[in-house]
Chain A
Amino acid sequence: MVSRPHGGRLVKRVATGRRRERLVLETTEMYSLDLTYEQAIDTEDLGRGVFSPLEGFVVEDDFLSILNYMRLTNDVPWTIPIVLDVDRERARKISMGDEIALWYNNVPLAIMRVEDLYQWDKYKYVESVFGTKSPEHPGVAKVRSMGEFLLGGPVELVGEVETGLERYILWPDETRVLFSELRWRTIVGFQTRNVPHMGHEYVQKSALVFVDGLFINPLIGWKKKGDYRDEVIFEAYKVLIEHYYPRKSAVLAGLKMNMRYAGPREAVHHAIVRKNFGCTHFIVGRDHAGVGDFYSPYEAWEIFEEFPDLGITPLFIREAFYCRKCGGMVNEKICPHEEEFRVRISGTKIREMLSRGERPPSEMMRPEVADRIISFRKPFVE
């Protein structure tokens, strides 16, 4: 039995067959709202059950409850409101009770029933969710640019956000069946936005010692210049799994989901999302979902103490390094040796070497993984 969906029920609000055809036709008669990429991704995640038990964008009561208590009004833990913002001009054209069409890239993506339309206090939001009002924080900057009104209500998908990476993506109902077919009862989730280095492998295998299976779940979507391209991340992981993981011990599948850089609150959010995918455990890393110096390195670990009823077990595994005296990958907790023996894994150094077509040292990255990344003519986003 995989993990119980968060809130007790896995949401799936995807119109199919004749119903979908009818809804698509009806969108031409509805008020149309063009979504940004990030709004579209949130919409798709809602409809696909990634954010179960949410069936749509949050209404004001839940919004306030999440900010104040990190729980929905029905007491279920929830740390980041999933919101749909509109500016004043658009808000004037929408009324509660309306059905509106959500469009992305000139294609209808979903129908939304508007159950709530409310103004929000952005300062309160950023202080609660990000713990700061600083415009240097990317989440705060993002919120400042959003509309003054929020729409709340359930969505029903009639389309999908195409990324060209559909072959890599699995949704919660699919992974739950997959884990059950693999006879996994305990599954640890690992979130990433990077190619795997030795530190990642150490953390994943440390967790895998205690569970039946590992679910590697890279985030797909918007990336900034210099990041590894999504396809490169997948291919690098495939090589790692093929050469270094026991057969049927790891599943690799992507997730279209926005990063919010909300540190501790987002760490809990990520755990809830993986619970919906069927995970029983979730790896919470150093400075999980952090950015800059806004959160202390292990702040994201402390917040989990407030959720005895989360329904997924966080695994706190410290950052790994290679110790020449120990002769292997270790971390602060198990290695007594001085810094001079330690080879720290530097993402920047690895990136620089790979971009020159050089293999990083084997203490940092598996040679097969490095070779696969180097084989791409353009491994980085330009």
Chain B
Amino acid sequence: MGRDKGYTTVSIPTTLYNRIKELIKDTGFTSVSQYVTYVLREIVAEHEQSKTVEPFTEEDRRRIIEKLKKLGYL
């Protein structure tokens, strides 16, 4: 139990690091890494959202629409 989570290093400019360090003072973030992880996750999720493709074929879709009509949803 309790395996370490994998981490890797990403470089950011020292000036940015210092800005973030200042920014997170008196917030819930305890380190620059924690803040950067939080912000990146948010941005990555947004970018992934824009690449969505619905996972069914046109035939699946027609079959589903028939069922929805039978059940009175459409």
Q: Which residues of A contact B (CB under 8 A)?
A: 1, 4-5, 8-10, 12, 61, 64-65, 67-69, 75, 121, 124, 167, 170, 173-174, 176-178, 180-182, 251, 253, 305, 308-311
Contacts and interface: CB of A to CB of B under 8 A. Distances in A.
Contact of B2 (A1, A68, A253): A68
B65 A10 contact: no
B73 A251 contact: yes
Chain B: number of interface residues, binned into ranges: 20 to 34
Most B-side CB within 10 Å, residue of A5, A121, A173: A173
B42 interface: yes
A8 B5 contact: no
B44 A309 contact: yes
Contacts of A181: 65, 68, 74
Contacts of B56: 10, 12, 173, 176-177
B39 A173 contact: no
B65 A177 contact: yes
B68 A65 contact: no
A195 B42 CA distance: 36
Contacts of A12: 55-56
A174 B68 contact: yes
Nearest to A252: B73
19 contacts: A4-B52, A5-B52, A5-B55, A8-B48, A8-B51, A8-B52, A10-B54, A64-B1, A64-B3, A69-B5, A173-B56, A174-B68, A176-B56, A177-B64, A177-B65, A178-B64, A180-B54, A253-B73, A309-B45
Nearest to B69: A181
A1 B5 contact: no
